[in-house]
Amino acid sequence: MTTVSLSQHDINVLEKIKDPESNPAAGIVIDSALPRDPQIVDHSVYERVVERERTIIRTLQAIEMQLSSFQSEDDADKAIESYKSCVSDFGNLISDYPLYASARNNRAQIMRRLYGDGMLLNYTATMPMPLIPQPEQSEKRKAANDTLEDMETAIRLLTPSSPSAPMSAQAARTLSMAHTQRAAIYLRTAKLMSDRQLDLDDSREEATWSRIDFEEAASRDLALGGRYGNQIAKALAVSVNPTAKLCGQMVREAMKKEYGPAFEM
């Protein structure tokens, strides 16, 4: 059987063509000596903030456990109010510590639970069904705007100053989650745009995006989510990028013509 021998450089070039976001030299540097949050370097302050956050998270976990046994519409309404109370609690925490990215990331997660990943569209009901399947437009727009702003801010607060700058494991996990959460919203929006319309505040850049724009943005966020630790996000990044998929198909066909059936990528 004919075999094809490619140098590591050749392989890296092919990977770059298939995935424009790839970089074989990229990798994060984890330093356990660094503060767990780059914006809150005082350990005692950080512990106080985290304890407040954990208290809210324990409340959320209790709500989730209760949801499985809820039977009536009144029960669902109580759950929604409980979630909104947690959103308010995170708001108070963020007001006291506006540079604490994890609180923003967690608040965004609650908003996704309440309004779903279709919150950027005029009709939000999708699977899994959000707790508020069809809110008033003003409520939904505010929720979408707040959620996107929370994720943007969390990403800005935690992104290292350079690709080689070290970071803590906790910061990397939170940054990965923020990118992956935003990717989930962008990807769901792209998939549902064929029969729904964007419904965003005009101040948001996403208000003018096309389906391909959302897919490409989702792919970038998934790639970064993977870079900072989420391997599932990394694997999904290329599969949802329309440009990368097209390039990958072209490369495979060209290489098969060059090397014959023995070549597989």
232 forms bridges with which residues in the sheet? none
Q: How far apart are CA 163 and CA 246, in angstroms?
A: 28
pLDDT value for 234: 79
Q: How far apart are CA 196 and CA 125, in angstroms?
A: 11
> Mean pLDDT throughout 178-207?
95
pLDDT value for 248: 46
The closest of 83, 138, 145, 147 to 112, measured between CA atoms, is: 147
pLDDT value for 7: 55
pLDDT value for 64: 87
SS (H, E, C) 16-62: HHHCCCCCCCCCCEECCCCCCECCECCHHHHHHHHHHHHHHHHHHHH
The closest of 215, 208, 220 to 189, measured between CA atoms, is: 215
> Mean pLDDT throughout 85-112?
98
pLDDT in tens, 23-47: 544 678 999 999 999 999 999 999 9
Prediction pTM value:
0.82
121 forms bridges with which residues in the sheet? 198
Residue 18 has pLDDT above 70, yes or no: no
Domain boundaries, the chain: 21-240
